[in-house]
Structure 1
């Protein structure tokens, strides 16, 4: 098989795509996303980490925000013997702040497996990452989009009788009796139901 046939086969394969949806509360009045390739799919080599941060020289995706670390986070592609899909881990590269993945905090250099749909938070940023599986082995694609509302708010809206709590991003039940609502947002493991 010659080189042009190999390249044609690679381009005909479906690529795994990471749909990354970003939100920041002051995104409309600041040029935070001016360095990002918004609205287009960009192709990345699976053996290179995808870095996001302030430094456009060392990061694949750069944010124009001095409050973001030079290197904020990295996404690493990998494969496992039991799963044919390209999977990803996320790593916190910031020494200044924590990164959370679906409410689980990661400290400096800590890694976690990235689920198919993940809510990532750092500073005032929220990122919703959705993995669309594909067949290509050596590359994956990234599609960036800006959200008008925080993704934490959108994830709460799909659940009946849930309303978003803007300061924490967590969901508080609105169907509780008044005396229970007065105690503030409930944790899922609290047993106030038994005490009433």
Structure 2
């Protein structure tokens, strides 16, 4: 029996975690040399992804004595309300904290990983971007090393998100020049601007 080549299979619809790594001394120390970079690898949703320096205990190993033997773990899960595969992160290090978008996790603490998350531990930064898929039993991971810190990409202080100072021009223009030159003024919030 001949099956059509257009039938969608689970392999075509896998969720993918794009993990982009950065360390300020990465080029001189070869910290990422044990990682399968630039290749997608498939993982069972039943198994956690562990990152640390122990190549036998971890899915992905870092060549750095300052990293815990088991630093962190990512777990896949699903909810009845959503078809998406989601992930939680857990800090496995007794020596250090892991932060997820500025929320700090101590030893064995877990939290959900947003679709785009900046993970930090020690001097390491990991930008994780989740690409949705429909597969239920497995997902893919693609590792990449960044030349610059991903903090700028995720920070609220990027040029497009720079806060703009409110000059109150529509309110202060109604006051005489002598009062405008004094600086900011408190005004009635119910005052309507033309």
Pair in the same fold by TM > 0.5: yes
**Distance of 1:160 and 1:86 partners within structure 2:** 31
Counterparts of 1:28-177 in structure 2 under 5 Å? 28-156=27-155, 158-160=158-160, 162=162
Where 2:133 maps in the other structure, the secondary structure is: coil
Q: 1:128, 1:151 within 8 Å by CA — same for their partners in 2?
A: yes
State the TM-score, normalized to the length of structure 1. Answer: 0.76
Q: Which has the larger radius of gyration?
A: 2
Cα distance, 1:47–1:32 mapped onto 2, change above 3 Å = same
Where 1:94 maps in the other structure, the secondary structure is: coil
State the 1:161 CA deviation: 6.6
**Distance of 1:118 and 1:19 partners within structure 2:** 11
State the TM-score, normalized to the length of structure 2. Answer: 0.77
Where 1:29 maps in the other structure, the secondary structure is: helix
Runs of 4 or more above 4 Å deviation: 173-176
1:23 matched to which residue of 2? Answer: 22
Deviates more, 1:145-154 or 1:54-63: 145-154
Deviations 1:53-96 (A, max 9, x none): 00000100000000000000000000000011000000000000
Deviations 1:105-125 (A, max 9, x none): 000000000000000000000
The alignment covers a number of residue pairs equal to: 161
Cα distance, 1:123–1:78 mapped onto 2, change above 3 Å = same
State the 1:153 CA deviation: 2.0
2:3 matched to which residue of 1? Answer: none
Note the residue ranges of structure 1 that are not aligned, 5 or more in a row: 1-7, 163-172, 177-192
Where 2:10 maps in the other structure, the secondary structure is: helix
